[in-house]
Amino acid sequence: LHVPSCCSLPRVLALANQKGGVGKTTTAINLGTALAAIGERVLIIDLDPQGNASTGLGIDRKSRRVSTYDVMTATATLQAAALQTAVPGLAVAPSTLDLLGVELEIAAHRDRAQRLSAAIKALPPDEDGRPAYSYVLIDCPPSLNLLTINALTAADAVLVPLQCEFFALEGLSQLLRTVEQVRSALNPRLTIHGVVLTMFDPRNNLSGQVVADVRQFMGSKVYETIIPRNVRVSEAPSHGKPVLLYDLKCAGAQAYLKLASEIIQREKTLRAA
């Protein structure tokens, strides 16, 4: 079977925002699950030393024998780190606290910003010669450090979660500047895929105002789908499950399914262009 080279790489999306607590990890887990549920083959790369994406997907610390630390220090392949999750079609390359020290360890190497990109390119195809994964989602740490730079260098596009709160836009210009710098110095194909508004609370007047402000600032880059604040979403990780497995009917799970189909739709439009 001949596979054209344009189609032999996965689509790589980095979930980035240097603010903590805006929904990067929650979106990585649940968007990844939703994409897998509609037939995509997904790999989540946990690039945060806290390892919340790994924990939220039910990967206990003991089973993280090969982690993204080993991948970043080029002592293991990404394929060796990838673990199957309880969700069919969804794997995760877990992280450990070792990742905290990786920046210093690789700082002196010329390829320090390209480590993750090289690891993704080295993913072997499956038996049919297709890329093993159709989507790779990178869960970034809450910082614009070398780990995030690696994610942006490896990515085709950035997905920015923004929490619907008063300071939502604060820090966004800095993130956009970093994306611009990585595009010009390291990764010319990098684009902003979109901005996803998270933890929307309809009872809070401010939430609505934030949505309006962000749409005014970022225009059509903002996804139509808004993720509501939903207690089921925040409970799910303590059960080691994506919310789609924990409570498929809840508003949060349904919103992530909608976001996945909106993203697939955007991808189709991009490819047709």
Query: Least separation, in Å, of the C-beta of 17 and Mg ion?
Result: 9
Q: How far apart are CA 77 and CA 99, in angstroms?
A: 15
Angle, CA of 14, 160 and 155, to the nearest 5°: 20
Q: How far is the CB of 143 from ligand ADP (least distance, A)?
A: 11
Q: Which one of 12, 14, 18, 23 is in contact with ligand ADP (CB under 6 A)?
A: 23
By CB under 5 A, name the one of 17, 25, 96, 230 that touches Mg ion: 25
For ligand ADP, the binding residues in 182-221 under the rule CB under 6 A are 198-199
Stretch that binds Mg ion, among 18-26, 39-47, 250-258, 264-272 (CB under 5 A): 18-26
Closest CA to 223 of 267, 177, 178, 166: 267
The smaller minimum CB distance to Mg ion, of residues 52 and 68, is found at 52
Residue placing its CB nearer to ligand ADP in the complex, 115 or 229: 229
Give kind and range of the element (H or E) at residue 94: none
CB 1 within 8 A of CB 124: no
- For residue 115, what are the CA distances in angstroms to 146, 170, 264? 10, 30, 27
Smallest gap from Cβ 201 to ligand ADP, in A, equals 9
Which residue in 227, 245, 260, 263 binds ligand ADP (CB under 6 A)?
Answer: 227
- The interface with ligand ADP within residues 45-64 (CB under 6 A) comprises 52
What's the rounded Cα separation, in Å, for the pair 254 and 165? 22
Q: Which is nearer to Mg ion, 52 or 117 (by Cβ)?
A: 52
The maximal CA–CA distance of the chain, rounded, in angstroms, is 55
Q: Do 242 and 236 touch, CB atoms closer than 8 A?
A: yes
Alpha carbon 125 to chain centroid, angstroms:
21
Site string for ligand ADP, 150-189 (x = CB under 6 A): ----------------------------------------
Q: With contact defined as beta carbons under 8 Å apart, do 64 and 92 qualify?
A: no
Binding site for Mg ion (CB under 5 A): 24-25, 48, 52
Binding site for ligand ADP (CB under 6 A): 20-26, 52, 142, 198-199, 227, 229-230, 233-234, 237, 252
